[in-house]
Chain A
Amino acid sequence: MNDLALFHTGVFASTADGPVLLGGRCRACGQVYHPRVAVCLNCTATDLDDIRLSRHGRLECCTTVHMPTTTMAAPYTVGYVQLPEGLRIFAPIGSEASTLAVGTPMTLAEFTIGRGAQRQAAYCFVPTAGGA
């Protein structure tokens, strides 16, 4: 990955294979979280394992946005991707939304938010190369 600062600490890490989301799993009830939590929000147990979430999921829906934000230049596409762990992840989608069907296999990839000196390293989902 490039040398940009992470847009948020503790949310993801870069690996040789690309970015990976950092999560937690409750040892008592098994609930999985992203981002990590100090206390299980499901059963209030405090014993959680740090885990790395699956880099592959399926697109639930996406939208192309035509107004900029402080971190995103318009137009941009964002959506929800469902991971095998049962989590729904909001993320930028690195593809033309109009071509993506619900259920499209998606893979986590590098992404940059912000402009100029404010650029920060983030993540997005892109259609999985070669499909499922």
Chain B
Amino acid sequence: MRDVAVIGIGTSRFGKFPDRSFHTLGGEAVRKALADAGVAPGRIEVAYGSRIFLDQITAQVVLRDIGIAGIEMINVENACAGGATAVRCLWKDIATGMYDIGLAFGVESMTTSPIAGKLIAQGDDDIDAKLGSNMPVVFALMARRLMETHGATAADFAQVSVKSHQAAALNPAAQYRKVLSIDEVLGSRMVADPITLLQCCPNTDGAAAVVMCTTDMAKSLGARPVRILASVLQSSDYFFKKRDLTSFDAGRNAAAKAYEMASVGPDDLDVVELHDAFAPEELVHYEDLGLCGPGESVGLLRSGATALGGRVPVNPSGGLLSLGHPLSASGVRTICDVVQQLRGEAGPRQAEGARIGLAQMLGGNVNGLEMGAAAVHILARD
């Protein structure tokens, strides 16, 4: 395996843009990533695009306007982990020697999609969905267990959202830049008890892109490489094997594999970006990623260790909750934000001296399985 680095990052504006098509959003992110890398479009050897609310040949359409055509292009879908899957696929191509340099992006135009922005579509054979299950319900039931087994309170879940919005208020790229109080979060409309509206991520239009190459090529290009120490993607096991509703086995296993691949541990992390579509799940990910021991997630949150300026800031971008969640883009965007932190370019949101960071993304909810996919990337600056 060859060492692979991220040399360029780019994100579009995040928000609701009913007048913008997916390819102008994707193009904005890709152009920025190429410019950031200092790489001409003609250098790109392979490209991966990801989009859930799928038309055909997303990568070809987005890259058509950039001046990239005729190379191998692959379009991937893996629910909310689609973008992370695109990065993982590109990493495999470069690490194994198939190609030396390529790009990966994720894009979603939720407001122009005929099916997005309602609830995530359920299959006709999904028994749980017919009986009233959906994404907020799954996470509300997880939250109820956290209250029972971990002593978590409604105010703790609200604090996750308050923390996220504090960071987003400092992030010009964020969809929502309003500082919220715990009372405001708790006082917003109840969705699925104990999850209120301001503990749910918004529908977002946006895109994110990365340019990656071998570390050897990064040197010859004079780029500023951030090395990928680990790239892990796995699907989940059967729901009947799940013992604990306050842990995602797939997320825990993906993290364990990533730490082994990177030869680092959770204590080495300086910054984390993770899937916080609903505020309570952030506590679950603290334990699944090993940021604290079993049963200690509420204490970790309350200590401030995961807030801006804490020992290991989690979602200093503002996260899905307030930066926004253009589904397939989020798994690339989290990597862009970790790279920005490791370069020391996160401005008022900078984790002091950050050297190693982790980007996690989960995706999918279907009857019979714990979830769809879990992806973990660990990155480091030299």
Q: Pick the contact of A65 from B143, B189, B192, B238 — CB < 8 Å?
A: B192
Q: Which of the candidate stretches B91-99, B133-141, B213-221, B224-232 sits at the interface with the other chain?
A: B133-141
The answer to whether B132 and A7 touch across the interface, beta carbons within 8 angstroms, is no
Given contacts A60-B245, A79-B141, A80-B245, contact A113 B131 (CB under 8 A): yes
Q: Is A48 an interface residue (CB 8 A)?
A: no
The answer to whether A65 and B132 touch across the interface, beta carbons within 8 angstroms, is yes
Closest approach, in angstroms, between the C-beta of B228 and any C-beta of chain A? 34
Given contacts A69-B119, A113-B131, contact A61 B192 (CB under 8 A): no
Mask of A96-118 contacts with B, CB within 8 angstroms, 1/0: 01000010000000000100000
Residues of chain B within 8 A of A78, CB atoms compared: 131-133, 137, 141
Measured CA separation A113–B127 after assembly (Å): 12
Given contacts A35-B127, A122-B130, contact A65 B140 (CB under 8 A): yes
In which size bucket is the chain A interface? Answer: 20 to 34
Measured CA separation A97–B192 after assembly (Å): 11
Q: Pick the contact of A72 from B132, B194, B239 — CB < 8 Å?
A: B132
- Quick one: closest A residue to B143, CB to CB? A63
Measured CA separation A65–B143 after assembly (Å): 13
Interface residues of B in 124-155 (CB under 8 A from A): 125, 127-134, 136-137, 140-141, 143-145, 148
The answer to whether A71 and B144 touch across the interface, beta carbons within 8 angstroms, is no
Instruction: How many A-B residue pairs have C-beta atoms within 8 angstroms? Tell me.
Output: 81
Q: Is A128 an interface residue (CB 8 A)?
A: no
Given contacts A8-B127, A78-B137, contact A63 B193 (CB under 8 A): yes
Size of chain B's interface in residues, with CB distance under 8 A?
A: 29
Closest approach, in angstroms, between the C-beta of A34 and any C-beta of chain B? 9
Residues of chain B within 8 A of A35, CB atoms compared: 127
Measured CA separation A122–B130 after assembly (Å): 9
The answer to whether B238 and A41 touch across the interface, beta carbons within 8 angstroms, is yes
Residues of chain B within 8 A of A102, CB atoms compared: 148
Residues of chain B within 8 A of A76, CB atoms compared: 132
Given contacts A67-B191, A69-B119, contact A61 B144 (CB under 8 A): yes
Q: A66-B189, A72-B132 are in contact. List 4 more A-B contacts (CB 8 A).
A: A8-B125, A63-B143, A65-B132, A71-B130
Given contacts A31-B240, A87-B240, contact A113 B245 (CB under 8 A): no
- Quick one: closest B residue to A64, CB to CB? B193
Measured CA separation A14–B148 after assembly (Å): 34
Given contacts A62-B141, A71-B132, contact A33 B191 (CB under 8 A): no
Q: Is A13 an interface residue (CB 8 A)?
A: no
The answer to whether B130 and A61 touch across the interface, beta carbons within 8 angstroms, is no
Q: Is B190 an interface residue (CB 8 A)?
A: yes
Closest approach, in angstroms, between the C-beta of A29 and any C-beta of chain B? 12
